[in-house]
Structure 1
Amino acid sequence: MSDIVVVYELDKPTATRSSPVSPGEEERPVRRVHAAPTAPGMPTATGPRTLCGKDTFAMETARCSPSEHRGAPWYPTEYASVVCPDCDAVMVI
């Protein structure tokens, strides 16, 4: 699965009230986890669209890569509840 990149669709920035945050350091919770093909000739760069068709321009690339182990999820397990069902369906095939 080296030609797939995991990307995060992030919510709008929110500052936490419990700690002071400098401008530009707001927390951006992950709204959805998507899978995207890599850019042609660039194995670590994200292509322009996710497998479900969303634009990847404003998405953040995950530090992890999809698991190459059979039966393991392609996404980080801590984000299992926000995985895009359309991307997941393509990844299962």
Structure 2
Amino acid sequence: MTEIVVYELDKPAAPGGPERRVRRVHMAPAAPGSHTVAGPRTLCGKDTFAMETAGRRPAEQPGAPWYPEEHASVVCPDCDAVMEV
């Protein structure tokens, strides 16, 4: 199974306002037939429709955490628990 890191972002404050901040980092299986598009649900069951795909894939860096280190404080604990198994 191919996994894709996705970002749950804060809602925009106003048009043209500051860049949206990452609220939570999730993991989602890839959509059927794709290696670059997230499936409809994260490993914790959230809808991926409004999430942004990260440019990083866990399999690209063996031994490294599945999430980008700069977002370690906002990793979804449920997705993380599944990835540790």
Structure-2-length-normalised TM-score = 0.89
Count how many residue pairs are aligned between Structure 1 and Structure 2: 84
Q: Which runs of 5+ in 2 are unaligned?
A: none
Q: Does 1:59 align with 2:59?
A: no
Q: Does 1:8 align with 2:1?
A: no
Mapping for residues 33-72 of structure 1, pairs under 5 Å: 33-67=25-59, 68-70=61-63, 72=64
Whose radius of gyration is greater, 1 or 2? 1
With over 3 angstroms needed to count, the CA separation of the structure-2 counterparts of 1:66 and 1:25, relative to structure 1, is farther
Identical-residue share of aligned pairs (%) = 70
Q: Which runs of 5+ in 1 are unaligned?
A: 16-22
Structure (1/2) with the larger helix percentage: 2
Q: Note if contact 1:14-1:27 (Cα within 8 Å) is conserved in structure 2.
A: no
Structure 1 segments of 4 or more deviating over 3 A? 23-26
Structure-1-length-normalised TM-score = 0.82
Structure (1/2) with the larger strand percentage: 1
Q: Note if contact 1:10-1:29 (Cα within 8 Å) is conserved in structure 2.
A: yes
Query: Residue 24 of structure 1: CA displacement?
Result: 4.7
Q: CA RMSD in A?
A: 1.6
